Structure 1
Amino acid sequence: MTAGASEQPLIPQPPTTVAALRQAVAQIAPAALPAFTRELDQAADQARLGSDLAPLQRFTAHWAVHVHIQRQPRLAARFGELENAASTANAHEARQAAAEIGLILDDARAAPAQDLR
C-alpha cells in the first residue's frame, strides 16, 4: 500500500548545507527564514571567533532536523500539538508529550544521514 498524498513529504530532504537548507526553509516554512538567518549569523560569528566549525555544524544539524519535520505535514502538525501540550498540559501529560517529542527528534536526527545515502 502506498502512502496518500497528504503523507508524502512536501520536498525531498535536502543535503545538509547552508544553501540547501535555506532553500528548503524558504519553500516549506518561510516564516522561519528570519530565525534561520539570525542563527546562521550567530553560528558564523561563533565559528570565526573560536576558529572552530562546531557552531556551523550544530547550526546545519539543527536546521536539517527542522526541515525533516516541517517537510512532512502530518509530522509537523503532530510536533506542534506536542509542543503545545508540553507547555500547557498537566505534569503527566507534559511528560508524555515531551517523551514523544524526544522520539520524533531522535528519528529526525537520524533521518538526514539516511536520506543522503
Structure 2
Amino acid sequence: MSTPIPAEAGVLIPMPELTPAALREAVAKIAPSRVPDLTQHLFEATTSAQQTQSLAPLRAFIHSWAVFVEIERHPQRAARLHHLERLIQEGAEDPAPLLVEIQQILEKAEAETGL
C-alpha cells in the first residue's frame, strides 16, 4: 500500500495508491475525459484475468494507468508529452529525437510510480 505524497508545487494531485479505485478517482480529477477509457480497460483486464486465471492483465492495467496519472498530475510534463505527440502526428521531419524524449518522459514517470 503506497502512501500518497503531499502535493508539490505545480503538481495537481498527490500520487494515489496503485489500486483501480484510487487510479480511477485520480483520473476523474485530472483527466475526466479519460475515465471511460480507464473503465473499459479495467473491464477488459478483469475479463482477461478471469479467462487466463492470471493477474498479469490487472498488473498491466495498474502499470498503464499509474504511469498516465504520474505524467498528467504534472501539468508541464504532460504538456510537453502532448506537444511531442502532436509533432509526431503532424509528420515531423525526423521523429527520432522526439521519440527519445517521449521515452524518457515515460521511463521517468514509471520510475516515480515505483513500478
User: Any gaps of 5 or more consecutive residues in structure 1?
Assistant: 1-6
**For residue 78 of structure 1, what is the amino acid of its counterpart?**
R
RMSD of the TM alignment (CA)? 1.5
How far off is 1:59 after superposition?
0.3
Aligned to 2:53: 51
Identity of aligned residues (%): 40
Larger fraction in helix: 1
Q: Which runs of 5+ in 2 are unaligned?
A: 1-8
Q: Which has the higher contact order (CA 8 A, sep 6+)?
A: 1
Tell me if 1:62 matches 2:64: yes
Q: Structure 1 segments of 4 or more deviating over 2 A?
A: none
Corresponding position: 1:103 with 2:104: yes
Contact 1:86 1:95 in 2 (8 A): no
Q: 2:84 matched to 1:113?
A: no
| Counterpart residue number, 1:39 | 41
Counterpart AA for 1:77: A
Tell me the residue number matched to 1:4: none
Normalized against structure 1, the TM-score is what? 0.87
Report if the CA contact (8 A) 1:25-1:67 is conserved.
yes
Deviation track 1:43-102 (CA, whole Å, cap 9, x = no partner) reads 00100000000000000010000000111111111110011112223341x111111000
Q: TM-score, normalising length from structure 2?
A: 0.89
Identify the match of residue 28 of structure 2 among 21, 26, 29: 26
Q: Which amino acid is the alignment partner of residue 33 of structure 1?
A: V
